[in-house]
Structure 1
Amino acid sequence: MCGIVGAVAQRNIVPVLIEGLRRLEYRGYDSCGVAVLADGGPRRARSVARVADLDAQTRDTHLEGGTGVAHTRWATHGAPVTDNAHPIFSKDELALVHNGIIENYESLREMLRGKGYVFVSQTDTEVVAHLVHSLYRGDLFAAVRETVTHLDGAYAIAVEHKDHPHTVVGARQGSPLVVGLGEGENFLASDALALGGTTERFIFLEEGDVCELTLERVRIVARDGASVQREVRTVEAYGGGVELGPYRHFMQKEIFEQPRAITDTIPQSDSFDASLFGENAAAVFADIDNLLILACGTSYYSGLTAKYWLESIAKIPTQVEIASEYRYRDSVPNPKTLVVVISQSGETADTLAALKHAQALGHVHTLAVCNVATSAMVRLTSLSFHTHAGREIGVASTKAFTTQLVGLFVLAATLGKLRGTVSAAQELDYVRQLRHLPAALNSVLALEPQIIAWSDAFSRKESALFLGRGLHYPIALEGALKLKEISYIHAEAYPAGELKHGPLALVTDAMPVVAIAPNDALLEKLKSNLQEVKARGGELYVFADSDTRIASEAGMHVIRMPEHYGPLSPILHVVPLQLLAYHTAFARGTDVDKPRNLAKSVTVE
């Protein structure tokens, strides 16, 4: 992984390839490169710095050509060094870029070494490049088609060969790849966003597809060898809103964009109608008796929050599983289960694999909560809810998370209405609360100066503990994740009632304890937990609703939230935790938007 751009044109395509990589920078990467066919063979530039450095290299060396492939790499096999950066060459005759992981690369490498191929990188990708070369008999398309029959694992590849100056061949299995259609030129990318401003006409390749791009046509062959015509979709992929404006980092900007993102995501209707999730949603919802939520990372925590809503509002049993674990255990499928998958990108490899596993087990009712309407996840599920977070550049998710929560709350209210557990009066009240959310969030964002004051103390710590109870325990998990992701401070989260079952042993004045204190039914229990921390010399930092009667004192720092917000309170309480993580990371001088070892769109398992 992480990003692919390719093109065949009658103009110098390098600026288009570089711009495509810039648009994919938000995903995170360790190295980048571009290769074009020129002077009778592939020529390339590679960098272990940023795309801006690669751009400078191409200008300095006058790298130009009409056919090319480019890549941003997030290291899996082999360190992030120049020799491992893509494009990878074979015999200086072909160049290849690759997203994904080839699981049988070791046996293929030994076979290719026996044929005289010398490996100069530690990547699994070099195996694919040499395999294509070894199978090439004058027809690049045929060589790629034969190559993929030998590959185990996930991949999206793009290949160019010196003998075919106006051809790029691509293939995908388990990793996304789209074709962009132009006039007298055609394009390939791992994300339509990479080609925004270049074309708005796209073909989303399906599993097992192999495609051939030339100046005038695109040929696609399916896994079974049959030539196919895939649907051409018009997608406005141009990414607006990418300027920082008055903000230091995109993460900070995206935190402050949450009122707008939530406004855009909240349905305009005054009622919770099944049609919000698809044409046949009413029939599906009538046929289910439980939910299974599958997700990873931040999206998993949104699923954990949704479990509380679904069981308390809709009274429907709900199970939440980490997607990367689900498909590796024995489970008992129920045809009346609604499988809900959650992902910002809709291309998360673990979640896609879990979805396909669920479908293979016989689950027919599926729903995606996703920020990208054209993603593989949305295309694979029968129902979907499109969140409108807009483009999220920072690796640490903020507005994607809160808009997911909005979508999941709407799901809970809709199911509750259909199941008779939400009255007409309650429905109107939920609608009013949703509509007021953006204003309430603006009040929370106004707390930033107080949170900045806390961040100075946090920046000098190496560990932190987050506590929450009930509906807010998943929010504590999310707060801990944000802090560790971008500040590199070790952070853990626990249900506050679990303190005395182990975590209390960690509490000292050197370990700050962050607590979420909404004015709900568990408040008095939480207060007792806070006293347990204080009695042992712990330093507490509490985000408390205004009417909780928790006051600042020695060892107890309190920031008052503007108002209690009932079941939607988690959406408000997560925002100060995002700000605390952001300002702590800024104080520590880390790369906030591109934290080490992480990628925005995790397209490998």
Structure 2
Amino acid sequence: MCGIVGYVGPKDAYDILIESLKKLEYRGYDSSGVALKTNDGIFIAKKKGRISELESDIMDVPTSHLGIAHTRWATHGAPKDENAHPHTDCTGTIAVVHNGIIENYRELKASLAQKGHKFTSETDTEVVAHLLEEYYQGDILSALFKILPLLKGAFALGIISLKEERILAVRQDSPLVIGLGSGENFLASDIPALLSHTKEFVIMENGQVADIRADHVDMYDFDGDDIPLKITHVDWDEAQAEKGGYDHFMIKEIMEQDQAIKNTLLGRVIDNHVILEELTPLQEKLQKTERIYITACGTAYHAGMVGAYLLRHMAGLDVEIEVASEFRYAKHHWHDNSIGLVISQSGETADTLQALRLMQADGIPVISVVNVLGSSVYREADASLLTQAGPEIAVASTKAYSTQLAVLYLFAIYMARLKGLLDNEAEKHILQELWNVPEKVRVVLNQAHTIREIAQDTYKTNDIFFIGRQLDYMLALEGSLKLKEISYIHSEAFPAGELKHGPLALVTSDTPTIAILMQEDIMEKTISNVSEVKARQGDVFVLAFERNKKALHDIGRWAFFVPDTLPLLGPLVGIPVLQLFAYYNAVLRGTDVDKPRNLAKSVTVE
């Protein structure tokens, strides 16, 4: 998944497609490709690597006035030429580009293969081209409406046929926009790609199909019923547009978290069971596993702490967790029936990679949780669980963290079931709550203005403390890290019960404390610690569930109540609040939010 562009009109399609595709390079990608409708057939060129490498590889560009192009961020199949988009059917007369995930592609592929279809890639996308071929009877739109009920998952599709002067577009849980011109029209996954050509857009919504021709655009729902065009005029400059109209990449990525979590769950929760096909080769080993060694750095380490808690409490496992830079140099007494679990956003984190190699050298198989298919950690681990955060531009990690959490919840449920500690009803209950998390995260994100108002009272302070117990403490650590990373406010996180063992000496009327109260079985204990802060004239910000609003409404100077869910899922619904708190404090202090001083996105040195 990553960038889609399309063009139909009187101008040279190739130049427009390549120019537009380059406007989406900020999103990150590992390969690119183009499909052009010509008098001699559909011309396809695709290449692993940068767009410039694709351009260099094309020796003679054919004349064309209609085409689609794509930059790929690998999800199914390694980054290589044959897995790059566009993909075609057996006849080479239908071409498809796709962002998202076709959850049931394996079943579709097997069925199509039985009918004689030949596949040339490892991707989920290719099945769409072959399905269209199977149903095509002279009209590509009719074929599309026949295959849409067969597709499960998230998909933004761009489709062309050699026999027709149109581009078809489909949106389901993955963004697409249509740019409107004079005698020409455009398609893209994001507005920045098209701003040099038009300011008039149709922003597609879920469950919509667009039939894009040079002189007009028709819109339909998935049942084939007409939908009127809703045209939006955009005045953004290109820098604004890359950020989706937001001021910074960080806030854009915070606001994308509900969809990123949903994408990570897609295809892994089926009939109220966790399905992790990536772990099938290790299943026998995992059934015997008694101890798990977890290692990671920074934000990924905080996700690992949550994972360790879940694996202990749900799957009954003995879990050791250590920062990767320390893990590498510690003396380890490995236990039989153990596995390693490493977590990295980029898959290139130097300390984490060396810890992985250390475990493997001593015979410990390693599972990775990573966001980049084809990265070093992904390639070298014995099995990998990919997050689906998509490219993350801001240095401070946000959606990568929440998708790491989502994967770790799935893994803990998977292990608990494997160990016989989770029956059908319990698994169903947790998964139904987990599946509803993206919707609850969206509710939180829609209240960002409330958190900005709180930040108005805190951004001038020099010190802020975070407290919580159990999972709340682990969440506090990540909230504190975000605040110090981008606002440069000194912040620390403590287990709430440890306040009186030293940190309470630092609490004054000038020291706000963020108290997280989502672990309800020990909430009263944390409330006692909040009272200790208030007794020293410290201001308190409370983060808790909506169901406790009446009991906690007056406990602090500020309070934010998130939608109710299981306390176990508190970190997932609570983290957007703390990310937004950090972001607005940084904005009000005037720091460089996306590029905080002294920090890098991917730490590839020790």
Q: Is TM > 0.5 for Structure 1 vs Structure 2?
A: yes
Report the secondary structure of 1:420's partner residue.
coil
- 1:458 corresponds in structure 2 to 458
Which residues of 2 match residues 88-99 of structure 1 at below 5 A? none
CA contact (8 A) 1:324 1:351 kept: yes
The answer as to 2:379 corresponding to 1:373 is: no
CA contact (8 A) 1:507 1:536 kept: yes
Q: Distance in 2 between matches of 1:20 and 1:491?
A: 40
Task: Normalising by structure 2, report the TM-score.
Answer: 0.62
TM-aligned CA distance change 1:342 to 1:290, over 3 Å: same
- 1:477 corresponds in structure 2 to 477
- 1:259 corresponds in structure 2 to 258
Report the secondary structure of 1:374's partner residue.
coil
CA contact (8 A) 1:276 1:385 kept: no
TM-aligned CA distance change 1:539 to 1:269, over 3 Å: same
Q: Report the CA distance between 1:551 and its aligned residue.
A: 3.8
The answer as to 2:313 corresponding to 1:312 is: yes
- 1:341 corresponds in structure 2 to 342
Q: Residue by residue, what CA displacement relative to the aligned partner does 1:170-203 show, whole Å, maximum 9, x if unpaired?
A: xxxxxxx9999758659xxxxx9899xxx97469
Q: Distance in 1 between matches of 2:336 and 2:353?
A: 19
Which residues of 2 match residues 135-214 of structure 1 at below 5 A? 185=57, 201=80
AA of the residue aligned to 1:393: I
Aligned length: 409
Q: Distance in 2 between matches of 1:200 and 1:340?
A: 23
Question: Once superposed, what is the RMSD of the aligned Cα atoms?
Answer: 3.6
Q: Distance in 1 between matches of 2:388 and 2:381?
A: 18
Q: Distance in 1 between matches of 2:292 and 2:529?
A: 32
AA of the residue aligned to 1:341: V
Q: Report the CA distance between 1:271 and its aligned residue.
A: 4.2
CA contact (8 A) 2:343 2:370 kept: yes
TM-aligned CA distance change 1:418 to 1:201, over 3 Å: closer
Q: Report the CA distance between 1:404 and its aligned residue.
A: 0.5
Q: Residue by residue, what CA displacement relative to the aligned partner does 1:383-411 show, whole Å, maximum 9, x if unpaired?
A: 11111111111111111101100100111
CA contact (8 A) 1:507 1:538 kept: yes
TM-aligned CA distance change 1:344 to 1:200, over 3 Å: closer
Which residues of 2 match residues 583-602 of structure 1 at below 5 A? 583-602=584-603
AA of the residue aligned to 2:576: V
TM-aligned CA distance change 1:378 to 1:335, over 3 Å: farther
- 1:436 corresponds in structure 2 to 436
Q: Report the CA distance between 1:303 and its aligned residue.
A: 0.5
TM-aligned CA distance change 1:184 to 1:200, over 3 Å: farther
Q: Distance in 1 between matches of 2:24 and 2:341?
A: 32
Q: Distance in 1 between matches of 2:469 and 2:602?
A: 30
CA contact (8 A) 2:314 2:412 kept: yes
CA contact (8 A) 1:181 1:201 kept: no
CA contact (8 A) 2:367 2:384 kept: yes
Q: Residue by residue, what CA displacement relative to the aligned partner does 1:364-392 show, whole Å, maximum 9, x if unpaired?
A: x2101111121111111111111111111
AA of the residue aligned to 1:559: F
CA contact (8 A) 1:274 1:282 kept: no
The answer as to 2:604 corresponding to 1:603 is: yes
TM-aligned CA distance change 1:437 to 1:312, over 3 Å: same
- 1:283 corresponds in structure 2 to 284
Report the secondary structure of 2:270's partner residue.
coil
- 2:323 corresponds in structure 1 to 322
TM-aligned CA distance change 1:395 to 1:434, over 3 Å: same
Report the secondary structure of 1:321's partner residue.
strand
Q: Distance in 2 between matches of 1:554 and 1:432?
A: 32
CA contact (8 A) 1:519 1:545 kept: no
AA of the residue aligned to 1:437: V
Q: In structure 1, list runs of 5 or more residues that go unmatched.
A: 1-15, 28-176, 187-191, 205-231
Q: Distance in 2 between matches of 1:574 and 1:290?
A: 28
Q: Residue by residue, what CA displacement relative to the aligned partner does 1:227-283 show, whole Å, maximum 9, x if unpaired?
A: xxxxx99999xx965821231111111111111011111124124456433331322
Give aligned-pair identity as a percent: 39
Q: In structure 2, list runs of 5 or more residues that go unmatched.
A: 1-17, 30-48, 59-70, 84-120, 126-187, 193-241
TM-aligned CA distance change 1:291 to 1:180, over 3 Å: farther
Q: Distance in 2 between matches of 1:539 and 1:381?
A: 46
Q: Distance in 1 between matches of 2:585 and 2:430?
A: 35
The structure 1 segments of at least 4 consecutive aligned residues displaced by more than 4 Å after TM superposition are: 19-27, 177-186, 192-195, 232-236, 239-242, 552-555
CA contact (8 A) 2:292 2:341 kept: yes
AA of the residue aligned to 1:457: D
TM-aligned CA distance change 1:499 to 1:339, over 3 Å: same
TM-aligned CA distance change 1:26 to 1:264, over 3 Å: closer
Report the secondary structure of 1:278's partner residue.
helix
TM-aligned CA distance change 1:343 to 1:382, over 3 Å: same
CA contact (8 A) 1:180 1:200 kept: no
CA contact (8 A) 1:275 1:282 kept: no
CA contact (8 A) 1:290 1:317 kept: yes
TM-aligned CA distance change 1:334 to 1:439, over 3 Å: same
CA contact (8 A) 2:339 2:367 kept: yes
Q: Report the CA distance between 1:459 and its aligned residue.
A: 1.1
Q: Residue by residue, what CA displacement relative to the aligned partner does 1:542-580 show, whole Å, maximum 9, x if unpaired?
A: 112223344444863222222243311111111100000
- 2:521 corresponds in structure 1 to 521
- 1:13 corresponds in structure 2 to none
CA contact (8 A) 1:339 1:366 kept: yes
The answer as to 2:402 corresponding to 1:402 is: yes
Task: Normalising by structure 1, report the TM-score.
Answer: 0.62
Q: Residue by residue, what CA displacement relative to the aligned partner does 1:479-514 show, whole Å, maximum 9, x if unpaired?
A: 000000000111100000000000100100111101
TM-aligned CA distance change 1:474 to 1:202, over 3 Å: farther
Report the secondary structure of 1:340's partner residue.
strand
- 2:141 corresponds in structure 1 to none
TM-aligned CA distance change 1:179 to 1:328, over 3 Å: farther
Q: Which has the higher contact order (CA 8 A, sep 6+)?
A: 1
TM-aligned CA distance change 1:501 to 1:579, over 3 Å: same
Q: Distance in 2 between matches of 1:194 and 1:428?
A: 32
